[in-house]
Amino acid sequence: MSGIIINPLRSEWPELIKRPQISSKDLDATILEIINTVKESGDEAVKEYSRKFHDFAPENLWVTEDEIASSVKKIDKDLKKAILVAKRNIEKFHKRQVEKVKKIETLKGIVCWRKSVPVEKVGLYVPGGSAPLFSTLLMLAIPAKIAGCNTITVTTPANKSGDVDVAILFVANILGLKNIYKGGGAQAIAALAYGTQTVEKVDKIFGPGNQYVTCAKKLINIDGVAIDMLAGPSELAVYADDTCVPEFVAADLLSQAEHGPDSQVVLVAVKEQIIDKVIQQIDAQLPLLPRAEIVEKSLLNRRFLVIENEDQAFDFLNAYAPEHLIIASENAEPLSERVRNAGSVFLGNFSPESAGDYASGTNHSLPTNGLAKTFSGVSVDSFVKKITFQKIDNKGIKNIGKTVETMAAAEGLSAHKNAVSIRLKKIRDGKI
Amino acid sequence: MSGIIINPLRSEWPELIKRPQISSKDLDATILEIINTVKESGDEAVKEYSRKFHDFAPENLWVTEDEIASSVKKIDKDLKKAILVAKRNIEKFHKRQVEKVKKIETLKGIVCWRKSVPVEKVGLYVPGGSAPLFSTLLMLAIPAKIAGCNTITVTTPANKSGDVDVAILFVANILGLKNIYKGGGAQAIAALAYGTQTVEKVDKIFGPGNQYVTCAKKLINIDGVAIDMLAGPSELAVYADDTCVPEFVAADLLSQAEHGPDSQVVLVAVKEQIIDKVIQQIDAQLPLLPRAEIVEKSLLNRRFLVIENEDQAFDFLNAYAPEHLIIASENAEPLSERVRNAGSVFLGNFSPESAGDYASGTNHSLPTNGLAKTFSGVSVDSFVKKITFQKIDNKGIKNIGKTVETMAAAEGLSAHKNAVSIRLKKIRDGKI
């Protein structure tokens, strides 16, 4: 491995923060056709595409209650225990995101507040493919349940026998999820967005997926259906100083790289020797990994940089705006104050990204591709709207009346002014 | 006026909740050309389009410090006072939206938290046109300031003499806004999205506008620039029962209708007599309004419905998901519990929408066109990302280690597992 970049000029940063390009424009026409076919033919189209693209053809597109119930017996005991620990932590962290109603009297007689009201119908896409991502179901369904969404529809590809993975069913079981649809890919997104004979159209669609799923989410979003975000390939940036443990840094970079050949890892170290040590460790650990081939491809996208100046190092990281950021330093907590753009930040030598991916409590659905500059990861917020309310009494309207009349008049909106004047007059006339 | 709909069947609702159609697809090509020209030629293109479409041609595209400072002397005294009251209320309401950091120990040795970090660079579009909407600047800039955004760039069309309205400058003055760009329409959105010789590219663009502005926001959003939301024509729904004041309801509906010919008003009353009385009041008040012509056009889009059953009435209103909802009833507070989809709700007979539009404290940038099902209005949240952090110590990783290893293995992600195992081993071996 080579290609260490030493103290790059700021003018070189725009090139260095670019993500590996994946062309998706060519997909639009193909995916649009899938969407339109599902719009027309509904479940039959989903079945047909599942046969064609995913090699499964379930008779029944819905998981039965029995299948969900029996997962409790079928699941591996250790995995069961692990999932329950993860559920508990994720619930504990996300429950604190619920915003309580705070009534604020802005002026005597004027009380304003904001109330979180659940998005009524949500659809959760859980990728299957090479491995069924039951952890994604935990990360999406727990905040949806806490938010209080009325209808939660899960869609996930089945395996070749037409069954959904037992761990996904177990998660559904412990979270009380009843609607599990056997559909993967763009066709499943279309089914959630527009409804089918058996799928109820949802208000908002969540969940990661491959480029086909992402393209479908993009297209239905342009058509007015809400989505969580457009997930790109996963990313990790690590900041490492002299107090890091190169062995751990290497393991963290490799864990990110195994996601897929288009994943990206970035390492910003304050000294070249640190990178040398990390590379030694990568070379030692990589051959032992079952997904070494994917990791090697992904490492072609790596950026290993030495940035000696701490300010500049964090400026660079903020410009990159990583999905995941590990601060591999014993000094991580004060350093974390410098983070302005990131999805989720891991502090110190004992906070591997994989803890957050699965079980520490934070959400793993995070903004990629620089979106962390403006987007947050999935949280309870993603499953609610915050509706504002105000209650003004006759004293309140007297207190604010003149202000509103004056401003409305200045904006040339006489009817806005009149809506206040007519009330003030009625009060003045003692008619109310 | 006629066309009262009595107890419509649920099967008729989809037609009744449709908004007046505005075709914007034909605009895409025109607006894309404007955007591309601004990308290429920057400020000169903005100037040229301003000359062409807005009939102003300022020599200097930026408002000077002197212009901002002198607004304090130029502004009408009553308006000055009104704006200061509104500012105070809006600040009071929005400051309470700031989320404090809550550190949560999910397991011994694992501390997770979420921190609101400002979006660094934001662009605020303030419509000018027929009237300069200084209230919009208050509604956008106050939460941006509270969030702590680094760069706040305001863009607004100038008048024919090339000057920006004094009320807008006064708001800029009291909020300490320094960057006011004289640009309106799609060209201003393009300048914010991609930068020009003098405009710094922003991370997120806020603000309402006409169909050209909205189309530009749509296109730059598809291209990856964040926006607050796509604003459609403004809407008001009123729920009225026997305790409403028909005179006030009429005034509120008229205030909404004066926004523009494509605005929509909806009245859901529990009895036909209420609607009759409201219509009488509309007929009495309308001729007195300066914008009567616009109001009359807008009223063509009205929906006046009698829905006798309270449950069904609110089901209908929730299906409509209005931007603004007035509950014109002395029983408004308990009724408001039934609201599931709305932008902002006004309770009782003394809470006109215009209070919230200007000065009560709530934000007036709200989701339209049914987006209230999934979107919130602008708030401090809109100007921050909530970044998650976690700090795990060596006890913490021992507590969570097995859980993560088991889950990672079950998802076939060995390197994820290894990132934990390698740490556990080091601790076990006493090497750290």
Q: Where are the domains of chain B?
A: 4-21+233-361, 27-228, 393-428
B353 CB neighbours in chain A (<8 A) are 416, 419
- Mean pLDDT for the stretch of residues B169-175: 98
The per-residue b/e assignment along B68-102, b for 16 or more CB within 10 angstroms, e otherwise, is beebeeebeeebbebbebbbebbbebbebbeeeee
**Token code pair at residue B96:** 């309470």
Residue A25 has pLDDT above 80, yes or no: no
Minimal CA separation from B392 to chain A, in Å: 5
Same fold, A4-21+233-361 and A27-228: yes
pLDDT over threshold 80, residue A2: no
In this predicted structure, the answer to whether residue B130 has a pLDDT above a threshold of 70 is no
pLDDT of residue B40: 97
Q: What is the pLDDT of residues B177-209, one digit of tens each?
A: 999 999 999 999 999 999 999 999 999 999 999
Residues in chain B within 8 Å Cβ distance of A89? 106-107, 110, 400
CB nearest to B415's CB, from A88, A295, A423: A295
pLDDT of residue A128: 85
Q: Do A251 and B422 touch (CB under 8 A)?
A: yes
Identify all chain A residues contacting B389, using CB atoms and an 8 Å cutoff. 336, 344-347
The structure's pTM equals: 0.96
Dump pLDDT digits (tens) for A234-259: 999 999 999 999 999 999 999 999 99
Residue of B nearest to A86 (CA): B403
pLDDT in tens, A354-376: 999 999 999 999 999 999 999 99
**CB within 8 Å: B102 and A119:** no
Q: Are A345 and B387 within 8 A, CB to CB?
A: yes
Distance CA A44, CA B418 (A): 43
* Least confidently predicted of A1-15, A179-193, B84-98: A1-15
Is a pLDDT exceeding 60 seen at residue B279?
A: yes
Query: For B280-308, how does the pLDDT look when each residue is reduced to its tens digit (9 = 90+)?
Result: 999 999 999 999 999 999 999 999 999 99
* Radius of gyration, alpha carbons of chain A: 26
Residue found by looking up tokens 């993860």 in the block: A86
Residue that the structure tokens 């529990």 belong to: B270
pLDDT band at A381 (very low <50, low <70, confident <90, very high): very high
Supply B148's token pair.
């702590």
In angstroms, the CA B234 to CA B367 distance is: 9
As a whole number of angstroms, the distance between CA B57 and CA B59 comes to: 6
Find which of A19, A79, A94, A106 to mutate to test the B interface (most B CBs within 10 Å of its CB): A106
Q: How does pLDDT run across A189-208, given as a tens digit for each residue?
A: 999 999 999 999 999 999 99
pLDDT bucket at B59, cuts 50 / 70 / 90: confident
**Separation of alpha carbons A175 and A269, rounded Å:** 42
CB contact under 8 A, B375 and A385: yes
Tell whether the torsion through CA atoms of A158, A161, A166 and A167 is positive or negative: negative
pLDDT (0 to 100) of residue A21: 75
Output the 3-class SS for A12-65: HHHHHCCCCCCCCCCHHHHHHHHHHHHHHHCHHHHHHHHHHHHCCCCCCCECCH
* Cα–Cα separations (whole angstroms), residue A171 to A135, A154, A174, A177, A361: 9, 11, 5, 8, 16
Nearest residue to B260 (alpha-carbon basis) of B185, B315, B214, B210: B210
Instruction: Inform me whether the pLDDT recorded for A1 exceeds 60.
Output: no
Q: Which CATH superfamily is domain B27-228 in?
A: Nitrogenase molybdenum iron protein domain (3.40.50.1980)
From chain B, the residues in CB contact with A131 under 8 A are 411-413
pLDDT at site B432: 81
Which residues fall within 8 angstroms of residue A310, CB to CB, at 6 or more apart?
Answer: A270, A335, A338
Round to whole Å and give the CA distance between B397 and B394: 5
Q: Which of A387, A393, A427 best probes binding to B when mutated, by most B CB atoms within 10 angstroms? A: A387
Decide if pLDDT at B1 tops 60: no
List B54, B94, B324, B364, catalytic entry = B324
* Res. B150: pLDDT tops 90: yes
Contact status, residue B121 vs residue B202, Cβ threshold 8 Å? yes
Q: Is the pLDDT confidence value at A23 over 90?
A: no
B238: closest CA of chain A, how far (Å): 14
Q: What is the 3-state secondary structure (H, E, C) of chain B?
A: CCCEEECCCHHHHHHHCCCCCCCCCCHHHHHHHHHHHHHHHCHHHHHHHHHHHHCCCCCCCECCHHHHHHHHHHCCHHHHHHHHHHHHHHHHHHHCCCCCCCCEEEECCEEEEEEEEECCEEEEECCCCCCCCHHHHHHHHHHHHHHCCCEEEEEECCCCCCCCCHHHHHHHHHHCCCEEEECCHHHHHHHHHHCCCCCCCCCEEECCCCHHHHHHHHHHHHCCCEECCCCCCCEEEEEECCCCCHHHHHHHHHHHHCCCCCCEEEEEECCHHHHHHHHHHHHHHHHHCCCHHHHHHHHCCCEEEECCCHHHHHHHHHHHCCCEEEEECCCHHHHHCCCCCCCEEEECCCCCHHHHHHCCCCCCCCCCCCHHHCCCCCCHHHHEEEEEEEEECHHHHHHHHHHHHHHHHHCCCHHHHHHHHHHHHHHHCCCC
**Contact: B390, A131; criterion CB under 8 Å:** no
Is residue A290 within 8 A of residue A262, CB to CB? The reply is: no
Chain A: residue whose CA lies nearest to B363:
A388
Q: Is the pLDDT of residue B43 over 90?
A: yes
Fold of B393-428: 1.20.5
Distance from CA of B154 to the nearest CA of A (A): 18
Q: Supply the DSSP symbol for A5.
A: E
Q: B332 contacts in A (CB within 8 Å)?
A: 391
The answer to whether the CB of B387 falls within 8 A of the CB of A345 is yes
Task: Give residue-wise pLDDT tens across range B319-339.
Answer: 999 999 999 999 999 999 999
Alpha-carbon gap: A55 to the closest alpha carbon of chain B (Å): 20
For residue B416, the model assigns a pLDDT of 97
Residue whose C-alpha is closest to residue B255's, from B213, B230, B288: B288
Nearest chain A CA: its distance from B33 CA (Å) = 20
Write the burial class of residue A276 (CB in 10 Å: 0-12 exposed, 13-18 middle, 19+ buried): middle
Contact A419 B133 (CB under 8 A): no
Give me the mean pLDDT over the A110-128 stretch.
97
CB A306 within 8 A of CB A4: yes
DSSP letters along A301-357, please? Answer: T-EEEE--SHHHHHHHHHHH--SEEEEESTTHHHHHTT--S-SEEEESTT--HHHHH
Closest C-alpha to A320, from A5, A2, A3: A5
- Asked whether the ipTM of the predicted complex exceeds the cut of 0.95, the reply is yes
User: In B, which residues are within 8 Å of A354 by CB distance?
Assistant: 404, 408, 413, 416-417, 419-420
Cβ-based neighbour number of residue B3 at 10 Å: 9
- Nearest CA to B143 out of B92, B179, B193 is that of B92
List the one residue out of A101, A100, A118 whose CA is nearest residue A390.
A101
A207 with A189: CB under 8 angstroms?
no
CB A155 within 8 A of CB A184: yes
Per-residue pLDDT band at A20 (split at 50, 70, 90): confident
Q: Domain B4-21+233-361, what fold?
A: Rossmann fold (3.40.50)
Q: Which residues of A touch B375 (CB under 8 A)?
A: 226, 385
Q: How large is the average pLDDT for residues B96-123?
A: 98
For the record, the structure tokens of B251 come out as 């005034």
> Bridge-partner residues for A117, per DSSP?
A385
Average pLDDT score over chain B: 95
How many residues can be counted in chain B? 432
pLDDT at B264 over 80: yes
Percent of chain B with pLDDT over 90: 92
Q: What is the pLDDT of residue A296?
A: 95
Q: Which of A306-310, B47-51, B251-255 is the least confident region?
A: B47-51
| A208–chain B nearest CA distance, Å | 15
Say if the Cβ atoms of A332 and B359 lie within 8 Å: no
For residue B344, the tally of other CB atoms under 10 A from its CB is 28
Q: For a pLDDT cut of 70, what percent of chain B falls above it? A: 98
Give the pLDDT confidence of A264-281 residue by residue, as tens digits. 999 999 999 999 999 999
Active site residue B364: no
